[in-house]
Amino acid sequence: MFKPRFQTESLHPVEHRYEERENSEVIEIKEPEAIGSIAKHDGQTLWIDIINPSDVHFFRPILSRLKGYEHLVTLRNRAETIGLAHLEGITGQTVGSDGHHTLGKWLFMGIRTMNLIGRRLDFDVNLSFENGMSVLVSGLKKKKSINFCDNDLKFYQKRSFIQDMESKYKGMATFTVVPQACYNNFARAFPRSAVIGYDGFKEDIYLSDYIPDSRLLRRIPYDEYVVVRPESLGSYYVNGRTSIVPDLIRMLKKIGQNVVYLPRDKGDVLYAQGLEVFIPPTPFFGLDLCYFANAVLTGSGTLAREAACMGRPSVSFFPGKRLLSVDQQLVDEGQIFHSRSLPEISHFIDEHAHKPAWDFEFARSRRVRRDVMNILTNLIES
């Protein structure tokens, strides 16, 4: 029997992500146990609104440990969110999608918020991550909301009206739970008494259960590789508008690196047009991709932090001189290398890219998860 993908303390783990068939190199995705469809009971109902791919990983271990509650899950159709939710065994209603440009994002966000308001969502407490939509809906329904956040960059940048409105809605949360690295910035922007800090990173929450699964390597056409994910140039908090990804891929190929490329949206595929890269045809489990990579290079924060928290060589080419406080802490600790200079990145890859040690311990991540679960349980019951 294959080992479970995650070790959990309550619901059964997702046991078979990749099923090997006899005399075949093909590995298929097997239907996992569903979370979000548990039986009705007398406990409180938690509404979990999942809007981004990283939310899927974040809420999986939380959902599996919140016993005694009914789970109502909604999802936004953005990037790999729906596919990853399926892989993680999370089922729910798909509500709305995401635009590709600033105006489109605002329009789709407004439509989705109105859709959520119009639905008969029967819940007691809302859980979300960097999600002003569900916080606003919860406030209008006079329900408690707990919003996890870690992006304090918006407090420093020249903001747009849309950003101000989004931050205003997030600030309406009953409680905002953030890493200690950015606590002071959130406590200045939001009601201090509603901001709760924890020591660690959001990535620690789901890495605490993670077990590397080398069967993923059968689905990749390389023995060794690096992962590349482009910048999120359409996000409100990103100032840059030009991607270095095409030149970055050419540089990596020149120094002999095989590239697994993870586009965010359909438009990102164009960055690799005409270049020799492997783009997964279906959603792959990102933690496995990171763990078995020789290095991870990303234009945003989450993937860089995941790699760093697993002890993998991690490069951030986030556009901007100022980083999120959580990223800056990892840069200061030498766990993330930040640069948009191709020669500097090339030198870092030459010096640090290597195969995984296969025996990385996640003790710190387990401690962070326990602390956050204690905080969350107390907030739900308060």
Same domain, 153 and 227: no
The answer to whether residue 269 sits within a structural domain is: yes
How many angstroms separate the CA atoms of 145 and 142, rounded? 9
Strands 19-20 and 27-28, by their bridges, are: antiparallel
Same domain, 231 and 289: yes
How many angstroms separate the CA atoms of 162 and 196, rounded? 25
Same domain, 136 and 69: yes
| Residue 285: predicted pLDDT | 85
**Cβ atoms within 10 A of the Cβ of 188, count?**
11
Is 263 within 8 Å of 231 (Cβ atoms)? no
| Residue 6: predicted pLDDT | 38
Same domain, 324 and 185: no
How many angstroms separate the CA atoms of 9 and 161, rounded? 44
The answer to whether residue 11 sits within a structural domain is: no
- The radius of gyration of the chain from alpha carbons, rounded to an integer in Å, stands at 20
Same domain, 152 and 82: yes
For residue 225, give its domain range: 220-352
The answer to whether residue 70 sits within a structural domain is: yes
How many angstroms separate the CA atoms of 145 and 190, rounded? 14
Same domain, 119 and 25: yes
The answer to whether residue 46 sits within a structural domain is: yes
Query: How wide is the angle at C-alpha 303 spanned by C-alphas 302 and 305, nearest 5°?
Result: 65
| Residue 158: predicted pLDDT | 62
Same domain, 200 and 275: no
Looking up tokens 């359409």 gives 234
Write the CA distances from 1 to 5, 22, 78, 340, integer angstroms: 12, 14, 34, 45
The answer to whether residue 128 sits within a structural domain is: yes
The answer to whether residue 12 sits within a structural domain is: no
CATH number, domain with residue 346: 3.40.50.2000
Same domain, 142 and 33: yes
Is 168 within 8 Å of 186 (Cβ atoms)? no
| Residue 321: predicted pLDDT | 79
How many angstroms separate the CA atoms of 60 and 196, rounded? 21
Same domain, 96 and 42: yes
Is 318 within 8 Å of 231 (Cβ atoms)? yes
Same domain, 204 and 238: no
Same domain, 48 and 107: yes
How many angstroms separate the CA atoms of 351 and 231, rounded? 24
The answer to whether residue 260 sits within a structural domain is: yes
pTM value is: 0.83
pLDDT tens digit at each of 382 positions of the chain: 222 233 333 322 333 354 433 332 332 333 334 444 333 335 899 999 999 989 999 999 999 999 899 999 999 999 889 998 998 899 999 998 887 666 677 788 889 999 999 998 999 999 999 999 999 999 999 999 999 999 998 887 766 677 778 889 999 999 999 999 999 999 999 999 999 999 999 999 999 999 899 999 999 999 999 999 999 876 554 455 689 999 999 999 999 999 999 998 888 999 999 999 999 998 888 899 999 999 999 998 899 999 999 999 999 999 987 899 999 999 999 999 999 999 999 999 999 998 887 678 899 999 999 999 999 999 999 9
Residues facing 145 on adjacent strands = 126
Same domain, 342 and 369: no
Task: Please give the tally of structural domains in the chain.
Answer: 2
The answer to whether residue 1 sits within a structural domain is: no
| Residue 265: predicted pLDDT | 80
What is the spatial order of strands in the sheet that 314-316 belongs to?
259-261, 226-229, 295-298, 314-316, 337-338
Tokens linked to 35: 């979370």
**Which pairs count as long-range contacts for 356-365, CB under 8 Å and 24+ apart, including other chains?**
356/212, 356/291, 356/292, 356/311, 356/312, 357/311, 358/212, 360/291, 360/310, 360/311, 362/207, 362/208, 362/210, 362/310, 364/200, 364/204, 365/200, 365/203, 365/204, 365/205, 365/207, 365/208, 365/210, 365/309
Residue partners of 214: CB distance under 8 A and separation at least 6: 292
